[in-house]
Structure 1
Amino acid sequence: MMNKNQLQVEAIHNGTVIDHIPAGQGIKILQLFGLADTHEKITVGLNLPSKALGAKDIIKVENTRLSASQANQLALFAPDATVNLIEDFEVVEKLQLQLPERVEAVFSCPNSNCISHNEPVTSKFQVRAVKNQVRFRCNYCEKSFHRDMMAV
């Protein structure tokens, strides 16, 4: 019989815990931040039970600290996620997420006719929340896209 207080994902000694990620977004976040490239121990929980979300993802990365600007980019896919910085198995800091106003050189424009595909320019998007949905507006073609259309 499983103890109700038993952790489903083990604790980390030092690093970053990204919790309350909407189910299905954990893999995108791993790709966006290149966390798998750190060569550090990574624990990923997908579709874990959550009272608030129903199901959630969680990512724990040893010996890696997200900066405030990285955490804000995380808000693009998981606006209600929590980012906890861990030292000696204790939370030493909780980063507050704020949706960035702009993102550059992170995504490609989904519009295949956009000039950003044929010219040596850095992709740029204005970011805004519309009815709790994150939207991206391309600086070049001025088309607006839902976050699910954005490719890393």
Structure 2
Amino acid sequence: MPKKELSVSAIKNGTVIDHIPATHLFKVISILGLDKSENQITFGTNLKSKLQGRKAIIKVAKKYFADEDINKISLVAPHAKLNIIKDYNVVEKKTVEIPENIIGIAKCFNPKCITNNENMVTKFALVEKEPIALKCQYCEKITNEEHLEVL
């Protein structure tokens, strides 16, 4: 039997975010505010993945996320999986879902939109999940996957 090897060490209590596209690791860290967190955070990138080829993983000790917080990463990591860890055991598994309203996460692609010319929070309504299409609540233009820029 082949020896199992952990690329990233286990945590006792907290959240593991798996199946993040390797190229989006630092965006996920930023979106979740983990770059300002006091919690112990372990991450790995360019790990082997049967589904994605290469993936990233984040382990956050002693932290559990509200669904609305974790769903923010769905724009950059639509297939991310969450494992809730208690006493080194997975007690719950969750998948991210794109929220119906996206607030302050994405940039409107329309250069004339007020959100690109004034200091204000962007607001979008989800029009389509795959491929993603977001309707700006201010200028009503549709931002699609090709033009999607996460703030």
Please indicate the TM-score interval, normalised by the length of the shorter structure: 0.7 to 0.9
Q: 1:80 to 1:151 in 2, by over 3 A?
A: closer
Gaps of 5+ in 2: none
**Would the aligned equivalents of 2:133 and 2:142 in 1 still touch at CA under 8 Å?**
yes
TM-score between the two structures when normalised by the length of structure 1 = 0.85
Q: When the two structures are superposed, what TM-score results if normalisation uses the length of structure 2?
A: 0.86
| Structure 1 unaligned regions, length at least 5 | none
* Match of residue 121 from structure 2: 122
In structure 2, the residue matched to 1:95 is 94
Q: Supply the distance in 2 between the matched residues of 1:93 and 1:67 (Cα, whole angstroms).
A: 13
RMSD: 2.0
1:114-150: CA deviations, max 9, x gaps? Answer: 11244565321112445x3323221111222245632
Map residues 56-75 of structure 1 onto 2, 5 A cutoff.
56-75=55-74
Paired with 2:49 and 2:121, the residues of 1 have a C-alpha distance of: 38
In the alignment, the residues of structure 2 paired with residue 53 and residue 107 of structure 1 have an alpha-carbon distance, to the nearest angstrom, of 24
Instruction: Give CA-to-partner distance per residue, 1:64-112, whole Å, 9 cap, x none.
Output: 1111112222222212110111111111111232211111233343433
Percentage of identical aligned residues? 39
How many residue pairs get aligned? The number is 149
Corresponding position of 2:135: 137
Residues 9-20 of structure 1: pairs in structure 2 closer than 5 A: 9-20=8-19
In 1: Cα distance, 2:94 partner to 2:23 partner = 22
